Amino acid sequence: MNGLGGWFRQLTAKLSAALRTFMVGRYGTDRLNMVILSVGLVASLLSVIFKFAPVNLALFILSYGMMFWAIFRTLSRKTYKRYQENRKFLQFMGRIKDREHRYFDCPKCRQMVRVPRGKGKISITCPRCREKFVKKT
């Protein structure tokens, strides 16, 4: 019994070491990947329900596309690029959730500027390049 348990422990240790070696320099997973996988999963569940061929095919392609995309990101060696994607995604989600403010990109330097909502037309000064632009909030 002990021999088998020890053998099994050794095997798991070896496997996890091999996985660690394989993942060295690779990106791994993040919030964006979780969302991509969830969308893929929902699409594959919906494809079971919707039997109408064009819809079914579209859902099928979407679900596989999402899964491959998530795998690609997990195994990617361009960790900085993946990190930036995730950061932008989280920023985007933050913008959607934020009901108190509106977000604009400076027309000159693309700096993101946050202003309070519901103030009508206001003149905004970019904090980075001092460019002035008028927006409705």
Within 73-132, which residues bind Zn ion (CB under 5 A)? 106, 108-109, 111, 126, 128-129, 131
| 98/105 with CB nearer Zn ion | 105
In sequence order, the β-bridge partners of residue 113 are 104
- The b/e string for 88-103 (b: 16+ C-beta within 10 A; e otherwise) is ebeeeeeeeeeeeebe
> One-letter amino acid identity for 43?
A
| 14/95 with CB nearer Zn ion | 95
Instruction: Please report how close the Cβ of residue 107 comes to Zn ion at its closest, in angstroms.
Output: 8
- H or E element: which one contains 110? none
What are the residues binding Zn ion (CB under 5 A)? 106, 108-109, 111, 126, 128-129, 131
